Structure 1
Amino acid sequence: MTDNRDRVAVLMGGWTSEAAVSRVSASFCGQAARNAGWDAIEVEVDRDIAAKLKEINPARAFNALHGQIGEDGNIQGLLNIMNIPYTHSGLTASAIAMDKLLAKTLLAGAGIMVPPTLALIEDSHVYPEDSTGAHVIKPRNDGSSFGVVIVPDDKARPPARNTWPAHTQLICEPYIPGRELTVSVLDGTALCVTEITSEREFYDFDAKYAVGGSKHILPADIPEPVSLKACLWAEHAYRQLGCRGIIRADYRWDDKNDQLFMLEVNTQPGMTATSLVPEQARFVGMSGEELVNHLLEIAQCDD
C-alpha cells in the first residue's frame, strides 16, 4: 500500500459565489504546504468530492473553501464521516458562525456587543417599523461581502428583491459609521489588530482580494483599550463558538462615540497573497508556510 502519511487534499472551488476566491486561497496554501514538505494536491470540490477523496486517500485535508458548502458545516460533516482530519473549525462551530443571525444572537448573549440584527421577510422590501438611519442588508449566510447593500437612510427605497439570488435569506442591521478593524485568532490567542482602509464605501470583495484594493495598517493605530477589547472579544468568540485553528473576527469601531461592534466571525478566512490572516501571522513572526504547516499538524475530525 502506498504511504500516504504526508498526502494532503487542499479543498477548493465548489459551486458558490466564493469559488474563485477559494481557488486563489488553495493555490497559496497548496504551495505553502508543499514548501513545508507535504504532498499537497489541490482538489476541486463538486458533487463527486467523496469519490475523489476516496481515490486520493489523503491523510488529511486543508479546507481552503469559502462560503456555503465549505464554511457552513457541509464539508466538515463529510470529512467527519470519511474520518479525514481537516483544518479549521468543526461542523457545529462552522454552521453557527456562517449563520450571521444565529451567531450574533450567541455572541450578544456572551457579552460581546454586536449590531442589532433582524431577518427580513422573504420577498419583502419593508424594513422593521422601528428602523431609523442608514442600514445594511446582506445575505444571512454568505461571505467575502457578496450581496452586501448599504441603504443610505430610512427614507431611501430598499433595493429590489432580485438584487439577490432567489430564496436568499437576508438580514438587516444598522450601518455603523467609523473604522474597520479585524483580529485573527490562532489556537485561541489573538494575533493583533489590523485597521483596514479603502477608498470604497466599505471593505467589499474587490477591496479584500484585489491587489491595492485596500490598505492594511498593523498594528492598528487605535487606543490601547480598544485594541485590548477587540482581542479579548475575538478570543471569547472563538471559545463561545467552539472554534479550532484560525478564525478572523471583524469589527466596526465608531470612533466618535467610542463604541466597538463585532460584525462577524469568519471560520474560513481568506488565505491569499492580500489576505489579512497571513499578514497578521507574519507580523507576529510566523511565515505563511509555518501557518499552513501548523494548521495541518493540528488537523482533526470532530469527536
Structure 2
Amino acid sequence: MKTKIALITGGYTAESEVSFKSSAFVYTQLDKSLYEVYEIAIMPEQWYYVNDAGIKFEINKQDFSLMMDGHVVKFDIAFIVLHGSPGEDGRLQGYFDMIGLPYTSCDALTSALTMNKGYTKAVLAGISDLYLADSVLLFASDRDSASQQVQDRLSLPFFVKPNAGGSSIGMTKVKAVSDLDEAIAKAYDAAHTGQQVLVEEFIEGREFSRGIFKNSKGELVVLPASEVITTREFFDFEAKYIPGLTDEITPADITDEQNDRSERIIKDVYRKLNCRGMVRVDFFLQSETDKFYFIEINTTPGQTEQSFIPQQVRAHGMSETEFYTEILEGALLVAKTNG
C-alpha cells in the first residue's frame, strides 16, 4: 500500500508564487511507485486540493483530511514545500504536531526561531570558526529612534532587512546614511514580517549556499556548496528569480580546507538549532580574512529545478527522486521512533 503524501504549497505571503513552482517540481520527482501524492494548497482564503479534472476539494482542518468522491483521504506525512508563513515559521508545524501528522521539515520551535534572523544569530554564537556580522535588532517600539541606533553602533555599509521573512523581500544595501531611513521603513513595512528589522554591517567577500540533510539512516549529509555571483548590488529578490542576473556555480570552486571547514560548521549549525530534514545555510567567505560569516538558514529551501538544493543534489551524484525519498523516509523513521 502506497504512503499518502500531502505535498504542502502556497502560503500567506508573496513567496507563495515560489512555493507553487517548488511543489510543481517536487511532484514530478516523487517516486509514484512508493507514494500517492496530493498537492495541498494552504492559502488565506482556503486550504484545498484540485484533482486532475480541475475540481477543488476543501481540507477539513479538524484533522487535515480530504473528503473526495465519497471517501475520506487521510495522509501519512506532510512534505512541506511552503516558503514563508505559515509553512516556514512554525505555525503549520505546531498544527501538525497537535493533530499528530508527521512532516518533513524542522519542528515548530526550530522553524519559529530560525525565521527570526536576530534570535538565530544569538543561538549560533560560539560555534568554532563561524563568524557573525555586527548587527542591531530593531523592534516596533524602536522605529522612531532606529536610524540613530544604527548609526551609533554600526559602520557603513549596512544590510537592512526584515528580521522575519525570506526571498530578500524588503532588503536594502545602504551605502550612505541619507538612504538609511528609507531602507528601515521598507523593512518595517514588508508584509507578514513582524515589524522587526535587522541591520548588519556589510561583509565583503564571496557568497555561498550549502544544503544539509539527515538521510533515512539518521546520518548528516552536507551537499556540495554553490557560489552566488550576481550582477546586482546583492543577491536580492530579482537576482534570485530573474534569469540571467546571477551565476550559480555548483560545485563551488573552493579549496579542500574551505570545503572541510564549511562542512563542519554547517553540521554544527544543524545540530545547535536542532534541525530536521533538509535545510540550507548561506554564508560569506570574507575576502581579507578567509573567515566564514553566517548570513541565514533556510528551513524550507526552494525546490525548483534551478534552486540550490536540486543543483547540489545532482552535483552530489543523486537524483532528485532518490533525494526526496531519503527526506520522506527519514521523516517517517523519526515519527516511528518518537511514537
Residues 213, 121 of structure 1: CA spacing in aligned structure 2 closer, same or farther, 3 A cutoff? same
The counterpart of 2:190, out of the listed 161, 165, 168, is 165
Instruction: Tell me which residue corresponds to 2:169.
Output: 146
Range with greater deviation from structure 2 (123-132 or 182-191): 123-132
**1:154 deviation in Å?**
4.2
Instruction: Tell me which residue corresponds to 1:42.
Output: 39
2:5 aligned with 1:8, yes or no? yes
Distance of 2:65 and 2:38 partners within structure 1: 14
Secondary structure of 2:155's aligned partner:
coil
Instruction: Tell me which residue corresponds to 2:281.
Output: 249
Instruction: Tell me which residue corresponds to 1:78.
Output: 95
Instruction: Tell me which residue corresponds to 1:26.
Output: 23
Q: Write the deviation string for residues 247-268 of structure 1: whole angstroms up to 9, x where unpaired.
A: 1110011223322201111111
Distance of 2:223 and 2:33 partners within structure 1: 22
Instruction: Tell me which residue corresponds to 1:68.
Output: 85
Secondary structure of 2:65's aligned partner:
helix
Q: Write the deviation string for residues 75-125 of structure 1: whole angstroms up to 9, x where unpaired.
A: 111111121111121112211111111110111133431112221243334
**1:39 deviation in Å?**
1.4
Q: Write the deviation string for residues 27-77 of structure 1: whole angstroms up to 9, x where unpaired.
A: 111121255642111111035546162224111111001112111111111
User: Amino acid of the residue matched to residue 165 of structure 1?
Assistant: A
**1:162 deviation in Å?**
4.4
Kept in 2, the 8 Å contact 1:211–1:274? The answer is: no
Kept in 1, the 8 Å contact 2:134–2:200? The answer is: yes
The counterpart of 2:222, out of the listed 190, 212, 219, is 190
The counterpart of 2:271, out of the listed 221, 239, 244, is 239
Range with greater deviation from structure 2 (276-285 or 54-63): 54-63
Secondary structure of 2:226's aligned partner:
strand
Kept in 2, the 8 Å contact 1:132–1:153? The answer is: no
Q: Mapping of 1:86-105 within 5 angstroms? A: 86-105=103-122
Instruction: Tell me which residue corresponds to 1:113.
Output: 131
Distance of 1:282 and 1:291 partners within structure 2: 9
Kept in 1, the 8 Å contact 2:136–2:153? The answer is: no
User: Amino acid of the residue matched to residue 30 of structure 2?
Assistant: A
The 4+ residue runs of structure 1 with deviation greater than 6 A are none
The counterpart of 1:58, out of the listed 69, 75, 79, is 75
Kept in 1, the 8 Å contact 2:160–2:183? The answer is: no
User: Amino acid of the residue matched to residue 226 of structure 1?
Assistant: Q
Kept in 2, the 8 Å contact 1:36–1:289? The answer is: no
The counterpart of 2:292, out of the listed 260, 272, 285, is 260
Secondary structure of 1:172's aligned partner:
strand
User: Amino acid of the residue matched to residue 99 of structure 2?
Assistant: M
Instruction: Tell me which residue corresponds to 2:201.
Output: 174
Distance of 2:163 and 2:300 partners within structure 1: 16
Distance of 1:235 and 1:78 partners within structure 2: 28
Distance of 1:99 and 1:263 partners within structure 2: 12
Instruction: Tell me which residue corresponds to 1:287.
Output: 319
**1:225 deviation in Å?**
2.5
- Identical columns (%): 30
Secondary structure of 1:58's aligned partner:
coil
Range with greater deviation from structure 2 (100-109 or 47-56): 47-56
Aligned residues: 300
More strand by share: 2
Range with greater deviation from structure 2 (47-56 or 271-280): 47-56
Q: Write the deviation string for residues 128-150 of structure 1: whole angstroms up to 9, x where unpaired.
A: 31221100110111111111111
Range with greater deviation from structure 2 (105-114 or 57-66): 105-114
Q: Pairwise CA RMSD of aligned residues?
A: 2.1
**1:177 deviation in Å?**
1.4
**1:6 deviation in Å?**
2.0
2:278 aligned with 1:278, yes or no? no
Kept in 2, the 8 Å contact 1:12–1:43? The answer is: yes
Kept in 2, the 8 Å contact 1:97–1:103? The answer is: yes
Residues 294, 36 of structure 1: CA spacing in aligned structure 2 closer, same or farther, 3 A cutoff? farther
TM-score normalised according to structure 2 size: 0.82
**1:272 deviation in Å?**
0.7
2:225 aligned with 1:216, yes or no? no
